[in-house]
Amino acid sequence: MPNVQHETIAVGDVEIVALLDVDVNDEPIADAFPGAPADEILAGKDRYPNVYGADSVWRLRVRVWLIRHPGGLLLLDTGVGPETSPAMAWCPEPGTARAALAEIGVEPDAIDLVALSHAHDDHIGGILDRDGAPAFPRARYLLQRADHAWRQQGSEGDEPISFARLVAPLERAGALELLDGDHRISELIELHHAPGHTPGHQVLRISSGGSRALLSADTWNHPMQLGHPDWWAGSDDDQEGSTATRRALLAELLAEPDTVVAPTHFGEAFGRVFPDPDGPAAWHPSI
């Protein structure tokens, strides 16, 4: 599959632009998804080859989503960030989302709102620029309070320190808004609290002109999780919670099969979910 940097779809009066931030080889895929039987996740390469890199490592795409809507410009997530980002401790290259926005004519101060799906640094790494200032100076940044508290309380490794390095400048600038559950951005767009991957993980629902889209963040990080929602990822903070969220959103998608689904880390930016004889559902790329 060609390395498409920008992919765009329309959902009624809303335009969604998928910007590829990084495309890198990560850890062995069986390690990335320890909740799945190792032989089955490895066999998934036959059906979903572009999720796998050399030697069956996880080929990790990180996407940032620009949403043009009647109320302005919204960004969902910010990618791994520049070379000064804490994500560079594990990511082999800085993100290109900021340059990608410039290529499509979007300057940083044009962004009104930045919604952060959760507090992992491949999603918040780009909230600051190289100088440590808010990367989108006019925007409000929306984060679930549950993730803010979770990171402040501490977790594995140096992630609380990384979180503080990234978020403190936003708080000093008065740009961070903490949410408590679902949040309606406009009549067309809603953030929905979908915990499990992290306590404050949230997804973005769009409904316009009879069309629907779900920007699902890290609800599913491998297409096989649609057929096996109990296959948790190593990055899931709460295995039972993430499974419950996958099942709930899967039921929603099967009830509305025309919904466009946009996962952050799949090989394809956009697709749909349909019933499958081998499991509750399967991923069908649309581009």
Listing from the earlier edge strand, what are the strands of the sheet with 113-115?
6-11, 14-28, 57-69, 72-76, 113-115, 140-144, 176-179
* Bridge partners for 72 per DSSP: 69
* Digit-coded pLDDT (tens) for 111-150: 999 999 999 999 999 999 999 999 999 999 999 999 999 9
pLDDT at 30 over 90: yes
Biggest CA pair distance of the chain = 52
- Residue 123 to residue 205: CA distance in whole angstroms: 18
pLDDT given for residue 153 in this prediction: 77
Decide if pLDDT at 253 tops 60: yes
Is residue 7 pLDDT above 90, yes or no?
A: yes
Percent of the chain with pLDDT over 90: 90
Q: Is the pLDDT of residue 163 over 60?
A: yes
Out of 3-7, 37-41, 93-97, 147-151, which region has the weakest mean confidence (pLDDT)?
3-7
Chain segment 86-113, per-residue pLDDT in tens: 999 999 999 999 999 999 999 999 999 9
Q: Which strand (E) or helix (H) includes residue 163?
A: helix 159-172
- C-alpha neighbours within 13 Å on the C-beta side of residue 117: 29
Listing DSSP states for 64-129 in one string gives EEEEEETTEEEEE---S-STTSGGGGT-SS---HHHHHHHTT--GGG--EEE-S-SSHHHHTTSB-
Domain ranges in the chain are 6-285
Tokens of 35: 């909740």
Contacts (Cβ under 8 Å, ≥6 apart) of 181: 144, 193
Only one residue has tokens 């009104």, namely: 112
Predicted structure pTM score? 0.95
Q: Out of 3.10.20.600, 3.60.15.10, 3.90.1150.220, 1.10.1740.10, select the CATH number for domain 6-285.
A: 3.60.15.10
pLDDT at 2 over 50: no
Provide Rg for the chain, Cα atoms: 18
Q: For 186-232, how does the pLDDT look when each residue is reduced to its tens digit (9 = 90+)?
A: 999 999 999 999 999 999 999 999 999 999 999 999 999 999 999 99
Residue 5 predicted with pLDDT over 80: no
The mean pLDDT value for 275-282 works out to 90
